Amino acid sequence: GNSVTQMEGPVTLSEEAFLTINCTYTATGYPSLFWYVQYPGEGLQLLLKATKADDKGSNKGFEATYRKETTSFHLEKGSVQVSDSAVYFCALSRGAGGTSYGKLTFGQGTILTVHP
Amino acid sequence: EAQVTQNPRYLITVTGKKLTVTCSQNMNHEYMSWYRQDPGLGLRQIYYSMNVEVTDKGDVPEGYKVSRKEKRNFPLILESPSPNQTSLYFCASSFGLAGLTGELFFGEGSRLTVL
């Protein structure tokens, strides 16, 4: 079945540091890939997405590239801010066909804390 | 304002006492879903609905029921709660199938404790 594995957390960084959160996936066919962010006390919200191999999703300074050869979708940001402190979830969807039609599969989440 | 509203946000209850967590969205979305979030396990889908009167099981449906009588509402029912249902619950909705658009809109969550 489909699965998403994220790097172990929590991740603690100083402001303006470079961020990488690793995400790898297992899926048949050609899934779409997503990063969601959950700020303290809130629900998840979509951060960025990529729907085919070599696509780069970007938003709010965050980027992730869909790498089919390594089945990865790592999240990066060049200079984090205190306001980026949140939980980050990698997710995939299979799209049409099969029992997983229309379903999003989430990773376990990575807690990011950014200190001033 | 477009939103998904869950109630209650916090609830402490006892084993066996039936409870309902309500979910309402004002975006005319067809697809709605319930998730539970547990430490180290991420989000796991409980039930989902692709439209009115159409519901199906997710990955962890045991001990839960849902209904979709109106497009905007998707309540989660725990007929006889047990301590292993202590969790943070999220309702979410989207246009069409979330797996195709990828954009699920989430409520703020309902933290349930079963003693």
Please list every residue in chain A whose beta carbon sits closer than 8 Å to the beta carbon of residue B102: 32, 34, 46, 49, 51, 91, 93, 104
Closest CA to B93 of B75, B109, B106, B77: B106
Kindly report whether the peptide bond that precedes residue A40 is cis, defined as omega within 30 degrees of 0: no
Closest CA to A2 of A22, A24, A25, A23: A25
What does the pLDDT average to over B65-78? 97
Q: Does position B57 have pLDDT exceeding 70, yes or no?
A: yes
Closest CA to A43 of B89, B113, B74, B21: B89
Residues B102, A114: Cα–Cα separation, whole Å: 27
Query: CB distance B99–A95 less than 8 Å?
Result: yes
- pLDDT tens by residue, chain A, 116 residues: 788 999 878 999 999 999 999 999 998 778 889 999 999 988 899 999 998 899 999 999 999 999 999 999 999 999 999 999 999 999 988 755 544 455 788 999 999 999 99
Neighbours of A101 (CB within 10 A): 14
Please list every residue in chain A whose beta carbon sits closer than 8 Å to the beta carbon of residue B58: 103
Query: CB distance B50–A102 less than 8 Å?
Result: yes
Residues A80, A82: Cα–Cα separation, whole Å: 7
Please list every residue in chain B whose beta carbon sits closer than 8 Å to the beta carbon of residue A41: 108
Q: Does position B55 have pLDDT exceeding 60, yes or no?
A: yes
Q: Does position B77 have pLDDT exceeding 90, yes or no?
A: yes
Residues of chain B with a CB closer than 8 angstroms to some CB in chain A: 4, 31, 35, 37, 40-45, 48, 50, 58, 90, 92, 96-100, 102-109
- Burial level of A99, CB count in 10 A (0-12/13-18/19+)? exposed
Query: CB distance A93–B45 less than 8 Å?
Result: no
- B40: confidence class by pLDDT, cuts 50, 70, 90: confident
Please list every residue in chain A whose beta carbon sits closer than 8 Å to the beta carbon of residue B48: 102-103
Smallest Cα distance from B84 to chain A, Å: 18
Instruction: Give the chain B residue whose CA is nearest to the CA of A107.
Output: B42
Ranges A15-19, A97-101, B30-34, B53-57: which has the least confidence: A97-101
Instruction: Give the chain B residue whose CA is nearest to the CA of A90.
Output: B42
Please list every residue in chain A whose beta carbon sits closer than 8 Å to the beta carbon of residue B100: 32, 93, 95-96, 102
Q: How far is CA A91 from the centre of its chain?
A: 6
Buried b (16+ CB within 10 A) or exposed e, B7-36: eeeeeebeeeeebebebbbeeebebbbbbb
What does the pLDDT average to over B59-81? 97
pLDDT of residue B86: 97
Q: Which tens digits make up the pLDDT trace of B5-23?
A: 999 999 999 999 999 999 9
Please tell me which residue, B2 or A61, carries the higher pLDDT value: A61
Query: CB distance A49–B102 less than 8 Å?
Result: yes
Please tell me which residue, B98 or B2, carries the higher pLDDT value: B2
What does the pLDDT average to over B95-106? 71
